[in-house]
Amino acid sequence: MAEIVFDDSTRSWLIRTAATSYALRLTDDDAPSHVYWGPALTADQLADVLNRTEERWDSFNDPNEGLDELAADGGTRYWTPALQVRFADGTRALEWRYLGHDIDGMSLRVHFRDRHYPLRITLGYHVPAGTDVIERWTELAHDGTDGPIEIIRADSATWVAPIRPDYRISHVTGGWAAESQLLREPVPHGETTFGSRRGITSHHANPWVMLDDGEATERHGEVYSAALAWSGSWRITTTRSSTGRLTVTGGFGQDGVVPRLAPGDTLTTPVFAGLYTDGGFGAASRAWHAYTLDHVLPHPGELRPVLYNSWEATGFDVTEAGQRALAEMAAALGVELFVMDDGWFGARSGDHAGLGDWQVNRDKFPGGLEPLVREVHRLGMKFGLWVEPEMVNPDSDLYRAHPDWVLHHPHRTRSELRRQLVLNFARPDVAEWAFGTLDSLVGEHGIDFLKWDMNRPFSEAGWPGAVDPDTLWVEHTRSVYAIMDRLRARHPGLRIEACSGGGGRIDLGVLARTDQVWTSDNTDALDRLVIQHGYGQVYPARAMSAWVTDDPNFVTRRSTPLRFRFHVAMAGVLGIGGDIVKWPEEDLVHAREQIALYKDIRPIVQHGRLHRLVPPATDGLSALQYVAADGGRAVVFVFRQAAHFHTRERPLRLDGLDPAARYRDEDTGKVWHGASLLAHGLFPGLPDGDFASAVIRLTKV
């Protein structure tokens, strides 16, 4: 039974989730200390593992080091700090004084104050219903009247792993068009920091980690994981000592950025959620997916529509006639959402001008957008539009009118990337302009969907004249969130896709106010197998936008069969991004067939449980499987990347099925025993040659 219990005799709290337990306590000097995280324990059982403060071995070694619930800087604490502050008189050391706690259902708030200075600290915990995820955050409040408090570092939580003989970390790395490449490697001794200093989540890392003892597999083993719900600059630091202790601390911010709390101010950090499972990496991923579907996404029960996007067909050369032709063709294929990309506004004939001037270009659309929107709706599709509201071109009416609205420092060059600058959304006037512009755009034109892009990171992140310029690093992201939230409240039918030059803004924070994310600008099907594999470690297929585009690929120039491209994209939210007006008839016929197939399996893909059967590699076979929530249907995707040294096909063992049930192949009619599919497997029947693929549909009989 899920519950939160306080034991006054030991001054400890026990948080019981659906299948796990977590515990903390107060030390003799009131500091919060970690006790336990792992398989479920009752309060009586927890008494056996309650640790007491041990005496120091000598002046250099502390047996309690690394057990802080939120590692704070001060005194003789030398562990990686999660909380560092500097008071008005220059004092930095924090001393805890416990004030009390509140338990409200599955939420816990533990309150502290510094013993002398006017800083209140609240540690927050919440367990969403039906999950083993523990959401954690920190609140800092200046409750005095004198001088600001500098916040050098304010992480959301410190997660303490149990001592194991060895540790391995899983995370993703990459770059533009090469996001989410999964790495599993030993945890180094000392401090290792993952993060982004770019003002966005970034293509180069993603704010989650998984830890195991080096023995976990897809199906077996203990896995401890944590994911940060934040879309700006962030850092996650692992610290491993020679004594065997391992912690993970994470939150927003970066070195050198030091916002200040003025009297009366409160700073609340984003959620840094943690999850334990004993079912291996697969169980960890399925638990994160279920949590995201049930407690993060705004409309999790919806089926995301099949999308068409005009970018690769037209680039900036957008005209009403050209968009109408694409829309007519898209509707004939079975597309449900038509999205017009860049080039429809201002003086936008390339990436050099027009950003910030979100008025319809009347040379391209003499009657405005209304005729095109009406036609798209008449064809039975919803209408979407690409926007990049956080950006401005120097060659724009907006910049000429408000050059002070961008991030900048006095006497420093305003660096341009993609010929654009970043608007300072932390400024209330800029934020209000952005909301008003988007609100009018959506409301006046009947826009159903926005592709919200951001094609460059921060630079010269200054705010001349602001009382505390460093707050912009946090407030810009919070402003983006607030604008999205206001737009959704004002237009309940509006749906949003998050994009940042591809997968540069994917995290639990942005997923809480968007419906899907653009996974990568790289739509090459072979590369996408790797990108989607890394993405799916934490995030669900229900939010993973995946396109079928032209051949050869726009980014890699690699050629792959249309069937292969469709099957890879059908493992997420299917989209089409090619110049379909120029597709030969045989490709259009195949596309209609594959879109119809996707609509049949879409409920399983978008709302089912993912089982990674064989991970992608540079050659050989890879496979994944989705099982419907009720277990009644399953779909298996099988891919052969390349065929080296011809070998006989081997059986593919499935997962997540009922061993006592029987399953019918919906295409061949063959009936299988669930037990044999789990123990022995089936032969996928892939066609010969490189880039072969198959989709196998199974129904419980």
- In whole angstroms, what separates CA 629 from the centre of its chain? 22
Is 418 annotated in some ligand binding site? yes
Known binding residue 86? Answer is no
Q: Tell me how far apart the alpha carbons of residues 141 and 102 are, in angstroms, rounded to a whole number.
A: 17
Residue 208, marked binder: no
| CATH architecture, domain 307-393+428-454+494-606 | Alpha-Beta Barrel (3.20)
Of 611, 530, 511, whose CA–CA distance to 207 is shortest?
511
- pLDDT of 61: 81
> What is the reported pLDDT for 64?
82
For residue 694, list its beta bridge partners. Answer: 638
Query: Does 618 have pLDDT greater than 70?
Result: no
* Residue 620: predicted pLDDT: 85
Give the other-Cβ count within 10 Å of 301's Cβ: 9
Sheet-wide strand order for 119-126: 96-104, 107-114, 119-126, 135-142, 266-268
Partnered with residue 32 across adjacent β-strands are 26
CA distance 680 to 694: 19
Q: What percent of the chain has pLDDT over 70?
A: 99
pLDDT at 55: 75
Amino acid of residue 19: A
User: pLDDT digits over 202-221, tens only?
Assistant: 999 999 999 999 999 999 99
CA-to-CA distance for 232 and 257, rounded, in angstroms? 13
Active-site hit among 212, 357, 515, 521: 521
Q: Is the pLDDT of residue 689 over 90?
A: no
Q: Is 455 annotated as a binding residue?
A: yes
Q: Which of 453, 507, 515, 524 is catalytic?
A: 453
507 a catalytic residue = no
Domain ranges of the chain: 72-295, 307-393+428-454+494-606, 613-700
Rounded to whole angstroms, the Cα distance separating 512 from 60 reads: 45
Helix, strand, coil % in the chain, rounded to nearest 5? 20, 30, 45
**Backbone φ and ψ of 672, nearest 5°:** -120, 150
Residues 480-495: tens digit of each pLDDT: 999 999 999 999 999 9
Structure tokens at 10: 């030991």
CATH topology assigned to domain 613-700? Immunoglobulin-like (2.60.40)
Asked whether residue 454 is marked as a ligand-binding residue, the answer is yes
- Sign of dihedral through CA atoms 320, 323, 324, 325? positive
Determine whether the annotation assigns residue 451 to a binding site.
yes
Distance separating alpha carbons of residues 425 and 477, to the nearest angstrom: 8
Pairing of strands 96-104, 107-114: antiparallel
- Residue 102 marked ligand-binding: no
Among the residues of 353-462, which ranges form H helices?
370-378, 397-401, 428-445
pLDDT at 421: 98
Residue type, 474: V
Three-state SS for 267? strand
Tens of pLDDT, residue by residue over 300-354, are: 999 999 999 999 999 999 999 999 999 999 999 999 999 999 999 999 999 999 9
97-101, 260-264, 648-652, 680-684: segment of lowest average pLDDT: 648-652
pLDDT average, residue stretch 652-680: 98
Q: CA 565, CA 595: separation in Å to the nearest integer?
A: 12
3-7 β-sheet, strand order: 3-7, 12-16, 20-26, 32-39
Active site residue 453: yes
Position 688 scores a pLDDT of 86
Q: What's phi and psi for 620, nearest 5 deg?
A: 85, -160
Mean pLDDT of 137-163: 97
CA atoms within 13 A on the CB side of 536: 30
Mean pLDDT for the stretch of residues 450-458? 98
Task: Report CA-CA distances (Å) from 122 to 142, 245, 571.
Answer: 12, 25, 42
pLDDT of residue 644: 66
pLDDT of residue 597: 98
Q: Say if CB 613 and CB 681 are below 8 A apart.
A: no
Whether domain 72-295 has CATH 1.10.645.10: the reply is no
Say which DSSP state 347 is in.
Answer: T
Say how many CA atoms lie within 13 Å of 154 toward its Cβ. 27
Mean pLDDT, rounded, of the chain: 96
